[in-house]
Chains A and B, each alone.
Chain A
Amino acid sequence: MTHGGKTTLLNCISTIDTVSTGHIYLDGTDVTEINEKQIARFRRKNLGFVFQDFNLLDTLTISENIALALTINKIPAGEIDGRVRELTGKLNITDILDKYPYQVSGGQKQRCACARAIINNPKLILADEPTGALDSHSSQMLLSTIQSINETMGATILMVTHDAFSASYANRIFFLQDGAIFMEILKGNDSRRTFFNKILDVLTMMGGGVNDVL
């Protein structure tokens, strides 16, 4: 099913789209009630984005793409290169810093996108099908990266995906169907394999095929 409403929900949470009814509270702020200027500040301070098609700027190098988030957040110029080097070291992409996006692989692009999303230490990272354009090896590497970001930096990651394997890296999953939450499951102390099987069970219950998980 492809109209579960996951991307719409993600867009509403990320303030890209507006809600027709209801409210969204993030860390005590009602994001449906803030004005355009406040929205921009809210995004800068609280949100990080990772998209399926990377959304990197072809006009900037990998390093500059990551630095862009810092410059927009008005981080002093003297700190920027250091912070970029430190983070990219953790994500293992230091050797591609001076390359342009079209010169690197999809997996590297997505890790660059992750670096850009987390460099400002946002409270919430929104990932819309981040593995959608990657091969299985790159997907696994990216998911491990996202998991380590969550563990080491303590950032909340909200990821939407159709893929049960990707979903198995999460701690908490909401299944959406026809715009409503169908079910919620928690990983708890389960191993990833057990959690993966639980996901498949829910998907079978929902009618099989392609499903939306959040």
Chain B
Amino acid sequence: MYSKLAFRNIRRSLRDYIIYFVTLTLTASLMYSFLALGFSPDILAMTENMSMLTSGILMLSVLVALLSSFIVGYAIRFMLSQRKKEFAAYELMGMEVKTVRNLFLVENSMIGGAAFLLGSLLGTGLSGLLNQVVQNIFEVTHHYQVLFSLRALGTTFFFFVLMYGFSMLRAAKVIRRQKVIELLYDNQKNEEVGYQPLYRSVLTGLLSLAAMVAGVILLEKALHIQTNEAMLYWSGACLLILAGVYELHRKVPVLLYQLAKRNPRRKYRGENLFFLGQIGRRIQSSGRTMAFVAILLTVSLATMFVGLTMGAGYKANMEAYYPYDAGVAIDAPLTKNSMDSVRSFVEERCEAEDSVTYYLYAVPNEAIEALALSDYNHLREILGLSPVSMSDNEFLIHCDTWNYMDGTRQRLEQQPEITLNGRTLTPAETPILTEPMEQYQMAGTKGYVLVLPDEVASRLSGEKIRLVMKLEDSGYPELKNELKQFLNSGKWQPDIQLGQGLPERVTMGVTVKAWGVANSLTGFTTLSFCGLYLSVIFIILSCSVLAFEQLSAIDRNQKNYAVIDRLGVSGHRQASLIRKELSTVFLIPLFFPIVLTVLLIVGTQFFFGDAILQEGLVLFYGLVTILLFCAIYLTYFGATMFLFRRVILRPEMR
């Protein structure tokens, strides 16, 4: 009987339940998909320290469950308030309080159960996609496959019950304790409207702004501190910024509202008076909620941006740091034969597809090294790039570090010709090439290299020797240590070129792409995925709160819009007022999070832009963050607008 009545009630209250249901489903879906990713044996097998991702996602899930339980509680309170009269009617008809409570619990259990099942189903599909993204980051051959994980399902269920159970118990307590009269007349209670004096709002606003500025200054200082003291600065900065965001979102809308009401021209223009009344009540009754949402959004946007940029930034840098499967760099004038045994050592362990041994030549009187064109083209071939050609009296510069690009161009303009060993060379048709070749160890040591015709290069002194190898299946992480041990053991006997001597200190470097991927990418993947997980859920929860805030006032709003309808405001103007009201409610908590995110993007570009080798990456991921955020935010905004307009503007619903 309960279930039948509960089911009927759900259908009747579909309008109130829809946002709630969508939020629960999305939370369950994201939780399941990220947990499934964290538990995936394929992903865990990728690197030794991949369990870092599992731990991160599990820890964040606890946080997500905790926060979600507040939002679910909020949503349940909203629905309770919508249906108090109905419950009072049941009680007046003689239904026991226990029965009413059970009815509400059955209803919510049905919704929660359906949301969990649908969420898990969607999550299963989504986890397959996430799996592919991770495999793509690690450059592992991949294809889409549905990821079902019993462990992830069980963990999601546990967290779901945790966040849902507490809220349900609280709701049951409210129903049990409230008297019929309270249930009957609760929504007729007057809403108190009162504001602080203007000067106090201004003062608090200024103090909040000062706190935010102080936070940004601390943040800037923290960037220059290498000790543990930096943590103190970071915490202080975050605390000040978030406190500033909270208070500013409490005070600025009040301030603007009070100023608008003081100006008769603005107040009495068109339907502004009505609009100000609508917004004023929101600011008054939901000020704290909106400020809390502003904090959530600030954290979400910052987490998403930092996560995505760090992940992508590292990937971009890795392409440049490890373009070759294996490489050995020795800053000594050795003969090319010295590298034969090194190559044989690698070939014993991995099948080599290609290899090249070459010199970095010293250019007299210039702070640049040179490569012979044939060696350069061989490196390009290994990297899958097309070879370049130039005549015997030309040169080109390879520079894959964008921050040296302008300087290189200027230098070329100032000094278009170079003379080496009596031969004058001019720039090739394309004088600067920029593909990632790793120019701090392998293809140069300064971030750029001069490419010379073979004949010119051969007359220079080859002071640094390099070996680059292309391996089948890209090698394996342990190869790096094995190679190092071999080079440092007595088994390797290098020959020095005739007439040359060893420098005082010989720098030796070994680079293995598989090792780089295994030991560094994991941390960054973990950071970016955890950041994405947390931020998307935070955004969804924030949007839900805003949607509920608006929908909870729908009955009062319905009455208010009916009044202006009778006063002669056309349906078209009412629709425009609804749009304006909802946009303002959704925009108020967005202002400072967006400003801070833009500042964060600009700051990151300023401080770290040079360190990331792909130009424009920070700005690109800043844009991705804002677009992704807008997509989620606008979806919720659209859904709320649809429901709100549907109820307010349909005459039969008035």
> Which residues of chain A have a CB within 8 Å of any CB of chain B?
14, 16, 36-37, 39-45, 47, 49, 55-60, 64, 67-75, 77-78, 80-81, 100, 102, 116
Chain A residues within an 8 Å CB radius of B569: 40, 72
Give the shortest distance, in Å, between A154 (CB) and chain B (any CB): 21
Min CB distance B206 to A, Å, is: 28
For the complex formed, measure the closest distance between the CB of B140 and the CB atoms of chain A, giving whole angstroms: 59
Neighbouring B residues of A43 by C-beta, 8 Å:
566-568
CA distance A64 to B648 in the complex (A): 22
A72 B264 Cβ-Cβ under 8 A: no
Residues of A within 8 A of B565 (CB): 16
Cβ of A72 and Cβ of B567 under 8 Å apart? yes
- CA gap between A108 and B429 in the complex, in Å: 89
- Minimum CB–CB distance for A101 against chain B, Å: 8
User: 27 interchain pairs (CB within 8 A)?
Assistant: A16-B565, A36-B570, A36-B571, A40-B568, A40-B570, A43-B568, A47-B566, A56-B563, A57-B560, A59-B280, A59-B281, A60-B273, A68-B273, A69-B567, A71-B274, A72-B271, A72-B274, A72-B564, A72-B567, A74-B270, A75-B268, A77-B264, A77-B269, A80-B264, A102-B190, A102-B191, A116-B567
For B190, the chain A residues whose CB sits under 8 A away are 58, 102
Closest A residue to B556 by beta carbon equals A58
Measured between beta carbons, the chain B residues less than 8 angstroms from A70 are 268
B407 to chain A, nearest CB (A): 61
The reply on B501 being an interface residue by CB < 8 A is no
> Could you tell me if B264 and A71 are in contact, using CB atoms closer than 8 angstroms?
no
User: Which residue of A41, A57, A64 has the most chain B CB atoms within 10 A of its CB atom?
Assistant: A57
Kindly list chain A residues whose C-beta atoms are within 8 Å of the C-beta of B265.
Answer: 77
When distances are taken between beta carbons in the complex, the residues of chain B under 8 Å from A47 are 566, 568
Task: List A contacts of B562 (CB < 8 A).
Answer: 55
B274–A57 contact, CB under 8 A? yes
**Further contacts, 20 of them, CB under 8 A, given A16-B565, A58-B281:** A16-B566, A36-B571, A37-B572, A40-B571, A44-B567, A49-B566, A55-B563, A56-B563, A57-B277, A59-B280, A60-B277, A64-B273, A68-B564, A69-B567, A71-B268, A71-B270, A71-B271, A72-B567, A77-B265, A77-B268
Question: Judging by beta carbons under 8 Å apart, are A100 and B193 in contact?
Answer: yes
Q: Is the Cβ of B566 less than 8 Å from the Cβ of A80? A: no
What is the CA–CA distance of A140 and B569 in the complex, to the nearest angstrom? 32
Query: How far does the alpha carbon of A44 sit from the alpha carbon of B571 in the complex, in Å?
Result: 13
Distance, CA A77 to CA B265, complexed state (A): 5
Q: Is the CB of B560 within 8 A of A59?
A: yes
How long is the Cα–Cα vector from A36 to B573 in the complex, in angstroms?
A: 11
The verdict on B272 contacting chain A, using a C-beta distance below 8 Å, is yes
A71, B266: Cα distance in complex, Å: 11
A36 and B270 CA atoms in complex are apart in Å by 19
A41 touches B568 (CB 8 A): yes
Interface size on B, residues (CB 8 A): 32
B137–chain A nearest beta-carbon distance, Å: 52
B577 to chain A minimum Cβ distance, whole angstroms, is 11
A57 to B566, CA, bound (A): 13
Q: What is the bound-complex CA distance between A137 and B264, given in angstroms? A: 36
In the complex, which residues of chain B have a beta carbon less than 8 angstroms from the beta carbon of A102? 190-191
CA distance A55 to B560 in the complex (A): 8
The verdict on B278 contacting chain A, using a C-beta distance below 8 Å, is yes
Give the Cβ gap from A66 to chain B, nearest Cβ, in Å.
10
- B581-618 residues at the A interface, CB under 8 angstroms: none
A116 CA / B302 CA spacing, docked (Å): 50
Give, as a whole number of angstroms, the nearest-CB distance from A93 to chain B: 18
8 tightest A-B contacts by CB?
A44-B568, A59-B277, A102-B190, A40-B570, A43-B568, A77-B268, A60-B277, A59-B281
Nearest to A42 among chain B residues (CB) is: B568
* A57 to B191 Cα, complex, angstroms: 11
A-contact 0/1 string along B248-268, CB 8 Å cutoff: 000000000000000011011
- In the assembled complex, the Cα of A191 lies from the Cα of B573 at a distance in Å of 47
B267 proximity list for chain A (CB < 8 A): 77
Question: Nearest B residue to A100 by beta-carbon distance?
Answer: B193
| B559 lies within 8 A of chain A by Cβ | yes
**Across the two chains, which residue of chain A brings its CB closest to B559?**
A55
Q: Which residues of A contact B568 (CB under 8 A)?
A: 40-45, 47, 72-73
Q: In this complex, which of A45, A77, A102 has the most chain B Cβ atoms within 10 angstroms of its Cβ?
A: A77
Given A36-B571, A58-B281, A59-B280, A67 and B268 touching (CB < 8 A)? yes
| Chain B: minimal CB distance from A161 (Å) | 19
Which of chain B's residues has its CB closest to A79's CB? B268
A16–B569 Cα distance when bound, in Å, is 12
- B residues within 8 A CB of A67? 268, 273
Contact A64 B277 (CB under 8 A): yes
Closest to B562 in A: A55
Q: Name the residue of chain A whose CB is nearest to the CB of B263.
A: A77
Cβ–Cβ < 8 Å partners of B281 in chain A:
58-59
Q: Which residues of B contact A57 (CB under 8 A)?
A: 274, 277, 560, 563
Distance to closest chain A CB from B585 (angstroms): 14
- Name the residue of chain B whose CB is nearest to the CB of A80: B268
Cα A27 to Cα B344 with chains together (Å)? 106
CA distance A16 to B564 in the complex (A): 12
CB distance from B422 to the nearest CB of A (A): 87
**Docked-complex contact B274 and A68, CB < 8 angstroms:** yes
- Which of A71, A73, A81 gathers most chain B CB within 10 Å? A71
CA distance A43 to B564 in the complex (A): 10
Residues of A within 8 A of B571 (CB): 36, 40
Q: Which residue of A has the minimal Cβ distance to B573? A: A40
How far in angstroms is the closest Cβ of chain B from A67?
6
Complex Cα–Cα for A200 and B274 (A): 43
Question: Considering the chains assembled together, what is the distance between the CA atoms of A43 and B570 in angstroms?
Answer: 10
How far, in whole Å, are A70 and B635 apart by their CA atoms in the complex?
37
Q: Which of B532-561 contact A (CB under 8 A)?
A: 556, 559-560
A57 to B558 alpha-carbon distance, docked (Å): 11
Which one of B272, B566, B567 has the greatest number of beta carbons of chain A within 10 Å?
A: B567
Say whether B269 contacts A37, CB under 8 Å. Answer: no
The minimal Cβ–Cβ distance linking B378 to chain A, given in whole angstroms, is 77
* Across-interface contacts of A14 in B (CB, < 8 A): 566
Residues of chain B with a CB closer than 8 A to A56's CB: 563
Contact of A58 among B191, B567, B572 (CB under 8 A): B191
CB distance from B491 to the nearest CB of A (A): 86
> Please, which residues of chain A bring their CB within 8 A of the CB of B274?
57, 60, 68, 71-72
Complex Cα spacing A14 to B571, Å = 16
A126 to chain B: closest residue by CB: B566
Task: Give chain B residues whose Cβ lies under 8 Å from the Cβ of A40.
Answer: 568-571, 573
User: Closest A-chain residue to B570, C-beta based?
Assistant: A40
A68 to B268, CA, bound (A): 8
